[in-house]
Amino acid sequence: MNYIESLNVRAKDIANIINKQISNGINPLILSDTETDGVTAASIIAKAIQKKNGKPVIRIVNWLDYRLLQEIKKSGYKWIIFCNTGAGMVSNIESMFNDQWIIIDRHFISKEESVNKNVLNINQFSLNEDLEGSTSTIAHILASKIDSSNTDSSWMAVMASLSAGLDQGEGRSLLGVNKLVLDEALNSNLIKCSVELLFFGRETKPIHEAISSTIEPYIPNLTGNNDATIAVLRSIGINYENSGSRWKTLSELNEKQNKELVELLIPYVSASENAEEVLGEIIGNVYTLNKEEEYSPLRDAREFAILIESCIKSGNYGIALAICLGDRDKMLLDAEELMEKYKRNINKCLISILNDEDVIIETTKSFIINVDGFVKEKLMSKISSILSKIKRFENKVIILKSSTADGEVIIHIVSNIKQNSTANLGEIMFECNNQTGGIGIGSKFTGKAKIPLSKSEEFIKLINAKL
Q: Are residues 319 and 423 in the same domain?
A: no
Q: Are residues 446 and 410 in the same domain?
A: yes
Query: Quick check: 235 pLDDT over 60?
Result: yes
> Looking at residue 244, what is its pLDDT?
55
Q: Among 291, 319, 352, where does a domain finish? A: 352
Comparing 97-101, 254-258, 273-277, the range with the smallest average pLDDT is: 273-277
Q: Are residues 241 and 334 in the same domain?
A: yes
Helix (H, G, I), strand (E, B) or coil at 336: helix
| Residue range 149-173: mean pLDDT, rounded | 94
| Residue range 429-450: mean pLDDT, rounded | 93
Alpha carbon dihedral 86, 133, 113, 59, in 10-degree steps, equals: 20
Query: 220 lies in a domain?
Result: yes
> Looking at residue 448, what is its pLDDT?
95
Query: Quick check: 138 pLDDT over 90?
Result: yes
> Looking at residue 287, what is its pLDDT?
96
Work out the angle at residue 407's Cα, subtended by the Cα atoms of residues 450 and 75, and round it to the nearest 5 degrees. Answer: 65
> Looking at residue 204, what is its pLDDT?
78
Query: 170 lies in a domain?
Result: no
Is beta strand 80-83 parallel, antiparallel or unpaired with respect to 101-105?
parallel
Query: 113 lies in a domain?
Result: yes
Domain that holds residue 244: 197-352
Higher pLDDT, 225 or 45: 45
Cα-Cα end-to-end distance for the chain? 34
Q: Are residues 53 and 74 in the same domain?
A: yes
| Residue range 38-56: mean pLDDT, rounded | 97
Q: Are residues 18 and 137 in the same domain?
A: yes
In 290-415 the beta strands, taken as DSSP E runs, fall at: 360-362, 366-370, 397-403, 408-414
Instruction: State the total domains in the chain.
Output: 3
Mean confidence (pLDDT) of the chain: 90
DSSP 172-227: TB--HHHHHHHHHHHHTTSEEEEEEE--S-TTTS-HHHHHHT--SS--TTTTT-HH
> Looking at residue 277, what is its pLDDT?
65
* CB 61, CB 32: distance < 8 Å: yes
Residues in the chain: 467
The distance from CA 302 to its chain's CA centroid, rounded to whole angstroms, is 10
Q: State how far the alpha carbon of 328 is from the alpha carbons of 9, 178, 184, 335, in Å.
A: 35, 26, 24, 10
Higher pLDDT, 414 or 206: 414
Looking up residue 52, the CATH number of its domain turns out to be 3.90.1640.30
Q: Are residues 345 and 397 in the same domain?
A: no
Q: Which of 133, 162, 136, 419 is nearest to 284 (CA)?
A: 162
Q: Among 300, 321, 352, where does a domain finish? A: 352
Tens digit of each residue's pLDDT (9 = 90 or more) over 173-223: 999 999 999 999 999 999 999 998 888 888 778 888 988 988 888 888 888
In the Cβ-directed half-sphere of 189, how many Cα atoms lie within 13 Å?
1
Percent of the chain with pLDDT over 90: 68
| Residue range 229-258: mean pLDDT, rounded | 74
User: What is the crossing angle of helices 135-146 and 176-187, to 10°?
Assistant: 50
> d(Cα 128, Cα 130) in Å, to the nearest integer?
6
Query: 178 lies in a domain?
Result: no
For CA atoms 203, 206, 208, 213, give the dihedral sign: negative
Q: Percent helix, strand and coil across the chain, each rounded to 5?
A: 50, 15, 35
| Residue range 93-114: mean pLDDT, rounded | 94
Q: Are residues 321 and 384 in the same domain?
A: no
Answer whether 0.75 is exceeded by the pTM: yes
Percent of the chain with pLDDT over 70: 94
For CA atoms 221, 227, 230, 232, give the dihedral sign: negative
Burial of residue 8 (CB within 10 Å: 0-12, 13-18, 19+) is middle
* CB 42, CB 58: distance < 8 Å: yes
Query: 181-192 burial string, b = 16+ CB within 10 Å, else e?
Result: bbebbbeeebbe
Tens digit of each residue's pLDDT (9 = 90 or more) over 319-338: 999 999 999 888 999 999 99
> Looking at residue 135, what is its pLDDT?
96
Q: pLDDT confidence of 258, banded at 50, 70, 90?
A: confident
Q: Are residues 201 and 342 in the same domain?
A: yes
Tens digit of each residue's pLDDT (9 = 90 or more) over 367-401: 999 999 899 999 999 999 999 988 889 889 999 99
DSSP character at residue 247? B
> Looking at residue 125, what is its pLDDT?
84
Q: Are residues 108 and 254 in the same domain?
A: no
> Looking at residue 242, what is its pLDDT?
56
